[in-house]
Amino acid sequence: MTQVAGSCFLQTMPATQDSLLPIRAALRPEGLYLALRQIAPSELRDAFMQETVLRLPAPETLVHLPRAELDRQPLERPPAGLIFHVARCGSTLVSQMLKRCDSVVVYAEPLPINEILLPPHPWPRADLVAALRAVGAALARHAGRPYVLKFSSWNTLYCDLLAEAFPQSPWALCLRDPAEVAVSLLKDTPGWLKDTDEPAQRLARVIDPAGASRGREEYYARLYAAFCDAATQLDPARGKLLRYETLPAAVWEVLAPHFSLALDERQRQAMREAARQYSKAPVGQPTDFAPDAASKQAAVSAALRQAVAALALPALQRLTART
């Protein structure tokens, strides 16, 4: 965890954690360290939580939670919902729409969760689960009301850990046609798929254990399959599959009731307005959303279509048959 001189100080626990947002996490042999910053829940308007952190610099408090005490951290308010996704499938739209609901705070791809889940895992499973729960407790205190966790795409590979950390929370998995997902990844590859460090290599071994992919098309088809196979470990009674083609209406018709979020007509209208905007546009720079399913389908190569048919679609069928 990088510290800036004079901007961060260490203490066991702040006297009050109201509006203190956990923005970084580090696992050390002696325990979990969390960096907290004074950011109000109402400021979380950016597509991703880290963008809000960068937009609002402020002094930080560094909190140490001893490892032996992590399992004693009370999680008085579990997340109202957990959102997993397969990348480039409308999950950011979903989270931005949910932010229009007055009664809930949405944490979109919180960096502390990523830092705990990133391999190689230095702690055994039970301790990782306790650390994730401690972050959840810190987010619950920050929110002060029901909250939803929307995870990074690669977190789906470890969705069983997250579901174990928050066993009372319903989950949803955002899906899109695997060929369209792969076209987007081929055009604009996310950093975690381009990195060559040890965490990225370990994630690659989860995606393609035998290193059998003969090209990027096949690798991204295996990635989609790995997401689906990981999600089959989740309790189907707690879950919903949210398909891209059902958006935006599925957010207020399916997801909100699934997460026990009550909506009035004003909030549903606010969600409709959010759906007309590009979900990843910077705060204060609204951009109209332009549908792209047809252009993505037109960009699917023969090699990609073959890889999707052989690898991604069977995994998707296994998942849908179970959920």
Q: Specify the 3-state DSSP secondary structure of 241.
A: strand
Q: How confident is the model at residue 75 (pLDDT cuts 50, 70, 90)?
A: confident
For 117-128, write each residue's pLDDT tens digit: 999 999 999 999
Q: How confident is the model at residue 19 (pLDDT cuts 50, 70, 90)?
A: confident
Both tokens assigned to 45: 């308007």
Domains annotated for the chain, with CATH where assigned, are 77-322 (3.40.50.300)
For 42-52, write each residue's pLDDT tens digit: 999 999 999 99
DSSP label of 102: T
For 134-180, write each residue's pLDDT tens digit: 999 999 999 999 999 999 999 999 999 999 999 999 999 999 999 99
In this prediction, residue 172 carries a pLDDT of: 98
Report the C-alpha gap between 144 and 104 in whole angstroms.
Answer: 9
Closest Cα partner for 135 from 29, 6, 36, 56? Answer: 36
In this prediction, residue 220 carries a pLDDT of: 98
Report the C-alpha gap between 133 and 136 in whole angstroms.
Answer: 5
Cα angle for residues 128, 129, 130 (degrees, 5° grid): 90
In this prediction, residue 180 carries a pLDDT of: 98
In this prediction, residue 7 carries a pLDDT of: 38
Residue 10 in this model has a pLDDT that exceeds 50? no
Report the C-alpha gap between 33 and 14 in whole angstroms.
Answer: 13
For 272-313, write each residue's pLDDT tens digit: 999 999 999 999 999 999 999 999 999 999 999 999 999 999
DSSP label of 240: E
What mean pLDDT, rounded, does the chain reach? Answer: 94
For the entire predicted model, the pTM comes to: 0.94
Compute the residue count for the chain.
323
Residue 15 in this model has a pLDDT that exceeds 80? no
